[in-house]
Amino acid sequence: MYDITAYLTIKNKTYYTVLTYYVDGIRKQKWVSTGFKENESKRKAEKKLIQIRDEFKNKLETITTTSTEDKKIQISFSDFMIKWLEMIKHQVEESTYTGYKRQIEGRTKKYFTEHPIMLDELKPVHILDFYNWLYTEGLKGTTVTKYHANIRKALDYAVKTDLILTNPAIKVGRPQQEQFIADFYSEDELNTLFKIVKGTQLEVIVYLTAFYGLRRSEVLGIKWSAIDFVNKTITISHKVVTVTDESKENKTKTKTITKSKTKNKSSYRTLPLFKEIEDLLLYTRKMQEYYMSIFKDSYNKQYMDFVCVDELGNLRKPDYVSHKFKDILRKNKLREIRFHDLRHSCRNITCKEKYLHKRNTGLAGSFKFKNY
**pLDDT tens across the length of the chain (372 residues):** 557 888 899 888 888 899 888 776 677 888 888 888 888 888 888 888 888 888 888 777 665 555 544 445 689 999 999 999 988 888 887 778 888 898 999 999 999 999 999 999 999 999 999 999 999 999 988 899 999 999 999 999 999 988 999 999 999 888 877 665 667 888 888 889 999 999 888 999 999 998 888 888 899 999 999 999 999 999 998 888 876 666 555 455 656 666 665 555 556 788 999 998 999 999 999 999 999 999 999 999 999 999 999 999 999 988 899 999 999 999 999 998 888 888 877 766 544 343 333 433 333 333 343 333
On the question of a common fold for 77-171 and 187-368, the answer reads no
For 187-368, CATH gives 1.10.443.10
Sequence ranges of the domains in the chain? 5-66, 77-171, 187-368
How far apart (Å, rounded) are the C-alpha atoms in residues 308 and 346?
20
Q: At a CB cut-off of 8 Å and minimum separation 6, what does 129 contact? A: 115
CB-based contact 308:262 (threshold 8 Å)? no
Give me the helix-helix angle, 187-197 and 203-212, nearest 10°.
160
User: What span, in angstroms and rounded, lies between the C-alpha atoms of 42 and 144?
Assistant: 52
Distances (CA, A) of 37 to 13, 15, 16, 34: 6, 6, 9, 8
Element of type H or E holding 236: strand 233-236
**77-171: what fold?**
DNA polymerase; domain 1 (1.10.150)
- Give how far Cα 334 sits from Cα of 190, 193, 346, Å: 10, 8, 18
